[in-house]
Amino acid sequence: MSWQETYKHWMEAEHLDEDLKAQLQEMSEEEREESFGANLSFGTAGMRGILGPGTNRMNIYTVRQATEGLAKLILDAGQEAMQRGVAIAYDSRHMSPEFAMESARVLGNHGIKSYVYESLRPTPVLSFAVRHLNAYAGIMITASHNPAAYNGYKVYGEDGGQMPPEDADQLTTYVRQVEDPLNVAVGDKEALIQEGLIEIVGDNVDAAYLEAMKSVNIDYDLIKEMNDDVKIVFSPLHGTGYYIGMKALEQAGFTNVTVVKEQGEADGDFPTVASPNPESPEAFELAEKLGHEEEADILLATDPDADRLGAMIRQSDGNYQLLTGNQIAAIMLDYIVNARKAQNDLPENSVAVKSIVSTNLADAILEANGLEMVEVLTGFKFIAEKIKEYEETKEKTFLMGFEESYGYLKEPFVRDKDAIQALVILAELAAFNKKAGRTLGDALIDMYEKYGYFKEKTISIDFPGLSGKERMAEIMKSIREEGIETLADLKVVHAADYLNSVQKDENGVEAVLDYPKSDALKYQLEDKSWVAFRPSGTEPKIKLYLGVEGDSQSEVDEKAEKLEAAIRALTN
Distances in Å between the Cα of 263 and the Cα atoms of 93, 303, 306, 512 are: 14, 11, 14, 49
**Would you say 301 and 237 are in contact if contact means Cβ atoms under 8 Å apart?**
yes
Query: 432-460 as b/e, with b when 16 or more CB fall inside 10 Å?
Result: bbbeeeebbbbbbbebbeebbbbbbbbee
> CA quadruple 140, 45, 215, 410: dihedral positive or negative?
negative
Map 283-346 to HEC letters.
HHHHHHHHHHHHCCCEEEEECCCCCCEEEEEECCCCCEEECCHHHHHHHHHHHHHHHHHHCCCC
Strands (E), 55-96: 86-90
φ, ψ at 474 (rounded to 5°): -65, -40
DSSP symbols for 32-52: HHHHHSSPPP-BTTBEEEEBS
User: Which residues are identified as catalytic?
Assistant: 144
Q: Which secondary structure element, helix H or strand E, spans residue 451, and what is its range?
A: helix 440-451
The three-state secondary structure class of 463 is coil
φ, ψ at 148 (rounded to 5°): -60, -25
Sorted by sequence, the CB contacts under 8 Å of residue 77 that are 6+ apart come out as 136
Query: What is d(CA 74, CA 82) in angstroms, rounded to the nearest whole number?
Result: 6
Query: What is d(CA 277, CA 111) in angstroms, rounded to the nearest whole number?
Result: 38
Query: What is d(CA 127, CA 146) in angstroms, rounded to the nearest whole number?
Result: 20
